[in-house]
Amino acid sequence: MNRLTIYLSSLLLGSLVFSCQQTAPDTLTTSSDNEIPAAVLAQVNELGFSTQNMKRIPEGYLVEGDIILDEQALSQKHGKQESLLRVGTEEQYRTTALVSGLPRTITISLSSSLPAVYATAVDEVIRRYNAEGLQLRFSRVSSGGAIRFSAAPSGSQYLASSGFPSGGNPYNRVLVNVSALGTTTGTTRVNYYATVFAHEVGHCIGFRHTDYYDRSISCGGATSNEGSSSIGAILIPGTPSSADLSSWMLACVSNNQNRPFSSNDRTALNYLY
């Protein structure tokens, strides 16, 4: 089965981008030292990300297969360490950078270059979030949204990408790799696109992966931990002790899979917003 992976990472008010890959990650190997200075490797370790298979790219550095760290992100200083927001034996993570000024409505717009079916999917994303009765609501506008969906650069190796809040505002863009994601219409595809897009919006408002501590839970393959950063964590009481395999923030999703919010997702969303 073709696996489409969606990864999340976080930094304190960091300027980093997370992306979604088309296939499950390969077994990670130690990063080559030929292009990456030791000081940069140390910075990445301090931030809590793995340096295995780390690569230099034009935007900065690619870590853990899909996370882009630029120079500003690498230079971020951390606040005090907290505990992780936990859902069952899988962990629902957030960054310390969240959207503030609640109650608040976040606008979303789409570039005219994107397929019309993506607008339908974004409307479904908005419906899913607004149905939860959060203090954070969403609406679609024709242009200039607080979160803007646009086409990813040609040749991008991810399905979609986004980042994390800064200054109390959501990350302001989601880049969509149209060639990788496809443009097929129909209910199944719309729900699949909505699942991917809702995940990206989750990053924009500060969520990390539910299976952050072990991506193999949703991606398969060898056990791999994305790292333990200094952003801290908050335990959500009353969540189940078994793994939640239906969370919208799991690292991987199968092609055509529809993954609306699980009961644990709702707990996490209501806890934060």
Peptide bond into 115 cis (omega under 30): no
- Is 192's pLDDT higher than 60? yes
For range 161-166, the mean pLDDT: 78
Strongest mean pLDDT among 44-48, 162-166, 194-198 = 194-198
DSSP 8-state class, residue 94:
B
Each residue of 219-264: pLDDT tens digit?
A: 776 665 545 454 433 455 555 555 678 889 877 788 999 999 998 8
- Please, what are the domains in the chain? 3-272 (3.40.390.10)
Q: pLDDT value at position 60?
A: 73
CA distance 230 to 247: 24
Identify the weakest region by mean pLDDT among 45-54, 56-65, 71-80, 98-107. 71-80
The SS3 call for residue 77 is coil
Handedness of CA 30, 36, 39, 45 (dihedral sign): negative
The predicted pLDDT at position 64 comes to: 60
CA nearest to 180, candidates 113, 247, 109, 255: 255
Q: Is the pTM of this model over 0.85?
A: no
| Tokens 């149209």 sit on residue | 178
Q: What mean pLDDT is predicted for residues 202-206? A: 87
Residues 6 or more apart whose CB falls under 8 angstroms from that of 42 comprise none
Q: Which residues of 62-75 are buried (b: 16+ CB within 10 A; e: fewer)?
A: bbbbbbbbbeebbe
